[in-house]
């Protein structure tokens, strides 16, 4: 290691502080602004109370949380068996599956929603008008991140041996996947699940342009007339996402000795290395 001079250290410290201020100050400002009484001055928790008190906002929060859960469940149900099957029985499809999973990164959500209208006419015809039908599109949106996480986890275990052992002992496919493979890729699954939740809670483009009232759409609507409440809701979403990431890091730290070393705190970011972060 090169010796770091005092000047060098001071320089680095200054840079760190500058970056820290730039990134952390808006977060502080959100907390400050959301507790401010704009008209009378002074502090008030009314904005935060509105998260539960305001009917429309509360309904939107519930819908978004449900959407997140449904998306995670559907994504896991479809993606995990698919990826396992591709590795075990259909390796010729691997390139295709990977390409399709990473495709949503190249096709902006904005483009998808423009072409989505006709598809959703059919979806609402069969499944009704609830915002929960957004689940299908959201699963597509989270595919790249989930794929990376689960792929990393699957690469770290000896899938072939595990599954052959289970099958030779008489287990069916469902048991093999559910009771043998899944517990071994648990960190990857958790990582995929938490990233998907963060993505779904933050998704605005498709929901707003399709006319559904999810959390982010409601936040923007409220923002026109009530600044502090919308800032409070945004901050709550952000804190929730951060807490999820923290839980993920804590829970998988114990499992790290089982997986071949992929640090989940870094694995999570690397799945976010591409555009299509639904902004």
Partner 1 sequence: MAKRIREALPLLPFFALVTIFLIVPTVTVIFSAFFVDGAFSLSRIAALFSETALSALWKSVLLSASTAIIGALLGAVLAWLIVSSPPSSILRRAVISLCSVLAQFGGVALAFAFLATIGLNGVLTIWVQQHFGWNLAGSGWLYSLSGLILVYTYFQIPLMVIVFVPALEGLREQWREAAVSLGASTFQYWRQVAVPLLTPAFLGSVLLLFANAFAAYATAAALVSQGSPIVPLLIRAALTSEVVLGQSGFAYALALEMIVIVAIVMVAYNLLVRRTARWLQ
Partner 2 sequence: MKRTRLFGIAALTTSALLCAGLTACAPPEKRSEGEQTQSGRSAAEATSADDFGGMDGLVDAAKKEGELNVIALPPDWANYGALIKAFSDKYGIKVNSAQPDAASQDEINAAKQQKGKSTAPDVFDLGQSVALANTAMFAPYKVATFNDIPAAYTDPDGKWVNDYGGYMSIGFDSTKVPPVADINDLLKPEYNGKVALNGDPTQAGAAFSGVLMVALSQGGSVEDIAPGVEFFRKLKEAGNFLPVDPTPATIESGQTPVVIDWNYLNAARTAKLPSWQVFVPSNAIVAGYYYQAINSDAPHPAAARLWQEFLYSDEGQNLYAAGGVRPVRADGMLRAGTIDKAVIDHIPVIDGPVSVPTPDQTEKATTYLTDNWAKAIG
Residue number, 53 or 119, with CB nearest to partner 2? 119
Shortest Å distance, C-beta 153 to partner 1: 17
* From partner 2, partner 1, none, interface partner of 132 (C-beta below 5 to 8 A by class): none
Distance, in Å, from the CA atom of 137 to the CA atom of 116, rounded to the nearest integer, reads 9
CB of 22 or CB of 125, closer to partner 2: 125
Interface residues with partner 2 (CB under 8 A)? 38-39, 92-93, 95-96, 118-119, 121-122, 124-125, 129, 210-211, 221, 224-227
For partner 1, the closer CB: 185 or 207: 207
Q: What is the CA radius of gyration of the chain?
A: 22
**Which one of the spans 45-53, 54-62, 90-98, 154-162 is the region binding partner 1 (CB under 8 A)?**
90-98
Residues 98-127 interacting with partner 1 (rule: CB under 8 A): 100, 103-116, 118-119
Residue 200 CB contacts under 8 Å (≥ 6 apart), including other chains: 64, 67, 68, 71, 138, 142
Instruction: Using alpha carbons, select from 186, 188, 191, 185 the residue that is nearest to residue 247.
Output: 191
Q: What does 183 interact with, of partner 1, partner 2, none (CB < 5 to 8 A by kind)? A: none
- C-alpha 120/C-alpha 109 separation (Å) is 15
The binder of 158, among partner 2, partner 1, none, by C-beta within 5 to 8 A per type, is none
Residue 110 near which of partner 1, partner 2, none (CB within 5-8 Å, type-dependent): partner 1
Residues 15-74 that bind partner 1 (CB under 8 A): 15-16, 19, 22-23, 25-30, 32-34, 38
Whether 162 contacts 181, CB under 8 Å = yes
Shortest Å, Cβ 26 to partner 2: 19
Using CB under 8 A as the binding rule, whether residue 130 contacts partner 1 is answered as no
Q: Which of 61, 76, 197, 199 binds partner 1 (CB under 8 A)?
A: 199
Whole-angstrom distance, CA of residue 32 vs CA of residue 26: 10
Query: Taking CB within 5 to 8 Å according to partner kind, which of partner 1, partner 2, none is near residue 235?
Result: partner 1
- Residue 273 touches partner 1, criterion: CB under 8 A: yes
Question: Least Å distance between CB 68 and partner 2?
Answer: 22
Residue 82 C-beta: closest distance to partner 2, Å: 14
Q: Nearest Cα to 157, choosing from 188, 184, 187, 183?
A: 184
| Nearer to partner 1 among residue 136 and residue 186 (C-beta) | 136
């Amino acid at each position: 290691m090169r010796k770091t001079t005092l000047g060098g250290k001071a320089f680095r410290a200054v840079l760190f502080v500058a970056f820290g201020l730039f990134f952390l100050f808006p977060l502080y400002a959100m907390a400050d602004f959301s507790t401010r009484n704009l008209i009378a001055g002074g502090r008030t928790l009314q904005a935060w109370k509105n998260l539960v008190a305001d009917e429309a906002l509360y309904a939107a929060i519930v819908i978004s949380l449900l959407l997140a859960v449904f998306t995670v469940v559907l994504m896991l149900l479809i993606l995990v068996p698919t990826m396992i099957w591709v590795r075990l029985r259909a390796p010729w499809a691997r390139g295709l599956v990977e390409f399709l999973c990473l495709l949503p990164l190249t096709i902006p959500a904005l483009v998808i929603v423009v072409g989505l209208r006709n598809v959703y006419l059919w979806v609402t015809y069969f499944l009704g008008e609830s915002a929960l039908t957004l689940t299908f599109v959201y699963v597509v949106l989270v595919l790249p991140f989930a794929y990376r996480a689960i792929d990393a986890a699957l690469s770290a275990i000896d899938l072939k041996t595990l599954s052959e052992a289970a099958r030779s002992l008489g287990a069916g496919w469902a048991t093999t996947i559910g009771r043998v493979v899944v517990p071994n890729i648990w960190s990857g699954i958790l990582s995929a699940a938490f990233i998907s939740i963060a993505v779904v809670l933050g998704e605005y483009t498709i929901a707003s342009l399709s006319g559904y009232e999810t959390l982010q759409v409601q936040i923007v609507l409220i923002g026109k007339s009530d600044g502090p409440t919308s800032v409070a809701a945004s901050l709550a979403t952000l804190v929730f996402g951060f807490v999820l990431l923290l839980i993920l890091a804590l829970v998988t730290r114990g499992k790290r000795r089982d997986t071949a070393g992929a640090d989940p705190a870094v694995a999570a970011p690397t799945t976010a290395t591409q555009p299509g972060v639904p902004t």
